[in-house]
């Protein structure tokens, strides 16, 4: 079979850059409590977003079940709209969530990822392990911002668990 030739104009504009990261957190809450903060749409809305000073929520939909979908779109104060569109692939209550998702900035798809969230007992609390395997598309240079953003969201998660609902 002859070698396939790429159209030079496409080759210059398409690319796929892969990255994987793992974040572990020790939390003073049980795996069931931490899992509930991911599973319950109201609880998740308390921590899974940008700060009110920097980000305005436009869309939030959650269907937390295997085969279900979650969407969160918001506008940043500097203009762009970020769009998170996830599909749940595997859910084991209080133990594991696996989902895939794509991210858009405005109308440009910037990435596709597979994320695994694990909840393990640890002492009187739990160990939360987030593993993400991502591909950044067509010249989008993440430069570690996805991992830093996930760290920030996990900070928000811990704070939301420590702060009773109003």
The whole-number pLDDT of residue 52 equals 74
Q: Which pLDDT value is given to residue 12?
A: 53
As a whole number of angstroms, the distance between CA 33 and CA 125 comes to 9
Binned average pLDDT, 10 residues per bin, the chain of 166 residues: 42 81 97 97 91 86 97 91 96 98 94 98 97 93 89 95 79
Q: In sequence order, which ranges of the chain are alpha helices (DSSP H)?
A: 8-13, 31-39, 41-45, 145-162
The predicted pLDDT at position 166 comes to 53
Residue 2's pLDDT is 39
User: Going from the N-terminus, what domains does the chain have, and what CATH number goes with each?
Assistant: 15-162 (3.30.530.20)
Positive or negative, the Cα torsion across 55, 56, 59, 62? positive
């Amino acid at each position: 079979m002859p070698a396939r030739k790429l159209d030079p104009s496409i080759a210059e504009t398409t690319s796929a850059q892969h990255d994987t990261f793992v974040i572990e957190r020790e939390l003073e809450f049980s795996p069931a409590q931490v899992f509930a903060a991911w599973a319950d749409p109201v609880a998740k809305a308390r921590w899974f977003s940008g700060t009110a000073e920097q980000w305005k929520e436009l869309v939030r939909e959650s269907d937390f079940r295997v085969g279900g979908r979650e969407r969160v779109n918001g506008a940043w104060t500097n203009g762009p709209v970020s769009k998170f569109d996830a599909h749940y692939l595997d859910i084991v209550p209080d133990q594991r969530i696996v989902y895939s998702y794509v991210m858009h900035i405005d109308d440009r798809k910037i990435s596709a990822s597979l994320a695994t969230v694990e909840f393990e007992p640890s002492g009187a609390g739990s160990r939360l392990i987030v593993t993400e395997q991502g591909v950044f598309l067509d010249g989008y240079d993440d430069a570690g911002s996805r991992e830093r953003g996930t760290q920030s969201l996990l900070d928000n998660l811990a704070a939301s668990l420590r702060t009773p609902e109003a």
